[in-house]
Chain A
């Protein structure tokens, strides 16, 4: 089955700087790569995703990049704020319109944004 590696496991950045989280996957058939944010005591929530027909996607301060050849994808948070402090999970799946496939998650990155 799919394996997803996520690094770093812990990340501390200063407010206003950028934070980057990197993930790699093994299954070349994976074509859907979401990112979930989990705040303390809360459930994981989707914040941004990218499909294999794209290399870059941006939603406000969130940028995701996908390198299919290298089987890597990454999340970049620009101009970080204390509210960005949370656990972040990357995931991969072989999703197809109309079908559901299980997400394989990375082990998470605990991001702390310090004032």
Chain B
């Protein structure tokens, strides 16, 4: 079991460019979460999917952020027109549905730097 896989590990974009981050959850995990980590704000919830359906996107900045889960094996987080304040580590996590559903297994994250 390779755990949650996130690619790329590092991404550098220029202001105004688009960034797409990828996440492959643990096989068999039906819930996928996206969090953003910064020193100032800590771990901020962005959005989550259960069985590929969006359940709660209350943490997503509405205008430039979007997330999708087209199949059970991957999810994407897209940031349009990136801004320097989007610089952060973006963490994807997955969990089971059912017993022990609460435990999140985090990936190693994508460090996004917007110049």
Chain A interface (Cβ < 8 Å from any Cβ of B): 1, 32, 34, 36, 42-46, 49, 89, 91, 93, 95, 97-108
Asked whether any CB of chain A lies closer than 8 Å to the CB of B74, the reply is: no
Mark the stretch among B16-24, B64-72, B78-86, B94-102 that contacts chain A.
Answer: B94-102
B48 → chain A, closest Cβ, in Å?
Answer: 6
A43 near B106 with CB under 8 A, answer yes
Q: Given A1-B58, A105-B45, A107-B42, 8 other A-B contacts at CB below 8 A?
A: A44-B43, A89-B43, A95-B102, A97-B101, A98-B99, A99-B101, A100-B31, A102-B56
- Contact digits for B33-44, partner A, Cβ 8 Å, 1 yes 0 no: 101000001111
- For the complex, what is the distance from the CA of A104 to the CA of B95, rounded to whole Å? 15
Contacting residues, chain A, for B97 (C-beta < 8 A): 98-100
B29 → chain A, closest Cβ, in Å?
Answer: 10
Query: Counting chain B CB atoms within 10 Å of each CB, which of A44, A98, A104 scores highest?
Result: A44
Contacting residues, chain B, for A1 (C-beta < 8 A): 58
- For the complex, what is the distance from the CA of A32 to the CA of B95, rounded to whole Å? 15
B91 near A43 with CB under 8 A, answer yes
- For the complex, what is the distance from the CA of A106 to the CA of B43, rounded to whole Å? 7
The residue on B at minimum CB distance from A45 is B106
Contacting residues, chain A, for B25 (C-beta < 8 A): none
- For the complex, what is the distance from the CA of A43 to the CA of B106, rounded to whole Å? 6
- For the complex, what is the distance from the CA of A11 to the CA of B95, rounded to whole Å? 30
A103 near B45 with CB under 8 A, answer yes
Contacting residues, chain A, for B11 (C-beta < 8 A): none
The residue on B at minimum CB distance from A95 is B102
Query: Residue B104 contacts which of A46, A97, A107 (CB distance < 8 angstroms)?
Result: A46
B33 near A49 with CB under 8 A, answer no
A100 near B109 with CB under 8 A, answer no
- Contact digits for B41-59, partner A, Cβ 8 Å, 1 yes 0 no: 1111100101000011011
B98 near A103 with CB under 8 A, answer no
B101 → chain A, closest Cβ, in Å?
Answer: 5
Query: Residue A100 contacts which of B91, B102, B107 (CB distance < 8 angstroms)?
Result: B102
- For the complex, what is the distance from the CA of A108 to the CA of B55, rounded to whole Å? 26
B108 near A42 with CB under 8 A, answer yes
